[in-house]
Amino acid sequence: MPSKWASRGHSEVAPQQPITAQEPEGRMLKGQLPNTDEELAPRPGSPAPPTAPRLGPEKSPVLPLDTAAPVSSKEDDPQAKARPFTPKPPTRPRLERALSLDEKSWRKRRFRTSREDLAARNGASPSGGSLPDKAPETPAHGGSPPCLSTSLQEIPTARGALGGGGPSTWGSCLSGMISTSLDLLHRDGAAARSSPRLASVLPARPLPAMDHSVASESLRTAHKVDADHADYKLRLQARLFRAHSSLGPGRPPSPLACDDGSLHSARSTFSLLAPIRAQDVRSRSYLEGSLLASGALMGADELARYFPDRTVALFVATWNMQGQKELPPNLDELLLPAEADYAQDLYVVGVQEGCSDRREWETRLQETLGPHYVMLHSAAHGALYLSVLIRRDLIWFCSEVESATVTTRIVSQIKTKGALGVSFTFFGTSFLFITSHFTSGDGKVGERLTDYSKTIQGLALPRTVPDTSPYRSDAADVTTRFDGVFWFGDFNFRLSGGRAAVEAMLKREAGASVQALLQHDQLAREMSRGSVFKGFQEPDIHFLPSYKFDVGKDSYDTTSKQRVPSYTDRVLYRSRHRDDICPLKYSCCPGIRTSDHRPVYGLFRVKVRPGRDNIPLAAGKFDRELYLLGIKRRISKETQRQQALKSQHASAICTVS
């Protein structure tokens, strides 16, 4: 019977071979290679084999295998015994698509999506065939994967490398090697008018054993996604694995980190977010965060993810702006000091005698810190401003923010002196921030002590947020109701001894002058007596007095009043648990000269404890309008700067400044 080779552009007729009794269960895959050398010889009465592609009497021709052909059965076809079986070579388009399995595309193949993976698991191919329908790429020769042949020179001549020559041995490597090898045989073998030898298409290592049904297994594993295949689990373990991205050392790697792109996977692509199990969501306890490590949003597991050492970086600053409308051109020296290599997690800034445009001041804070920070809360009491900015990643772990005010003036309508407090809970640690402006005057120490007493008794905090340790709280002192308290502002405590004595001390060396000045500090003396700021501490002072300067200059008061330079601006802290607050830096900003006061700031490391989810959460609320305004300011300034640089480079005039 004539073959279909003539219809595909070949002049020869393929040899006809009857189906032998060696196939298992009377079945044989179309185009399967014969098992013995005798089967390659022509049988009596059959047409002569083609002579053009022969290499010689010692070489055996390679019959291409059409993996897409269905399995023929003797029982299904009654004429199978009488009619010889003719193998068909694969069509040319399928051979062209086989080039996509070279090393380059094989290593750069994309991960399947969940939809494609489901289709593959159900037995259907996303591309509709045994090979992905992609345009052929240029093959890359260099370290090809197993079962892939990249050159004809690698094809050995010994048929003994088949390892037994049975149909199961051939079927084990069909899905990985046959497409590329057949394409190379078709192109190069036709050009040389010779048939290359067989055994290079086999790997050097011994092939694993397979089931007896070669045809079904080789077709099912064409995409290598069949979970029932023998070596599927081994291939799955060899896939890319990404360790868990959690910062916490105690958090184990997720068992779902190996992504197979299916619905059973935690994610369809690699992500830095930790997967959340559905079982954890169903059985989550929202009241026992500190008891169950992974039971709450505020619990120990979530805390370790963001803060492995359980300490948060805190920035606290105070500044008496003297009511000046003019703001500094740049606040980097205040909020981003040179001593800090990294920005802090939480920024709290208190202002006394603030500028008339409070919104402009807050916009400048947002603009300086940039889009990584959001305004968690801002409050005002007359000329007292208090702003709390936090990293936007951490707003989900804050409770509702509460604020309260106290007026220390005799007439309560006059709000130039007093205190403003803001409190909230972060994870399981409660914070209280107070900014105050006490009575001014060199000899009015008693009035300042009275201002302190009114503040600790009058601040009604917390309200709805539960106290983290109520048995340690005192109804007469607001500072005992929180784990961490920071009290900062213009306390107006002066240096005693007169202007002449202070100036003489300032003329000494920097370190000696500071230590000598602190011996005359009214606040340090009253704290040592226990009459003010009970339980509070202050970091070591290594800077010169922050009051009083001539506006725009570095000289102290040269007016007729000749006010004594003093440490009026201070930052104090108190911790409910010992050593929970560690000061790192305590300094002032001599470069900001728009007021007669210099801003004073402190950098702290505060220990944070896990909490429970029984607190009213802030739910990620922040000042969105201020956030957008600050971003627009930064974009506008950056655009202007780039335009200025472009015009400067384009100018041909050389200027000397």
Place of tokens 């050492």: 309
Torsion, Cα 636 641 643 649, to 10 degrees, reads: -170
Cβ within 8 Å of residue 643, ≥6 positions away: none
Give pLDDT, residue 479: 96
In the structure encoding, which two tokens stand for residue 519, read together? Answer: 């011996």
C-alpha–C-alpha distance, residues 99 and 180, integer Å: 6
Give pLDDT, residue 126: 45
* Total residues found in the chain within this entry: 657
The DSSP result for 563-585, as a single string, is: PPPB--EEEEEEESSTT-EEEEE
Cβ within 8 Å of residue 573, ≥6 positions away: 484, 485, 486, 487, 536, 537, 538, 581, 583, 602, 604
Give pLDDT, residue 306: 92
Q: What is the pLDDT of residues 304-329, one digit of tens each?
A: 989 999 999 999 999 999 998 889 99
C-alpha–C-alpha distance, residues 427 and 396, integer Å: 9
Place of tokens 């020869």: 12
Asked if residues 47 and 16 have their Cβ atoms less than 8 Å apart, the reply is yes
Give pLDDT, residue 243: 39
- Regions in the chain scoring below 50 on pLDDT: 1-42, 44, 46-47, 50-75, 80, 95-106, 114, 125-182, 184-185, 190-202, 212-225, 227, 236-259, 266-268
Closest CA to 400 of 211, 582, 614: 614
Name all domains of the chain by residue range, CATH numbers in brackets.
300-634 (3.60.10.10)
Give pLDDT, residue 508: 87
Asked if residues 609 and 427 have their Cβ atoms less than 8 Å apart, the reply is yes
Give pLDDT, residue 448: 96
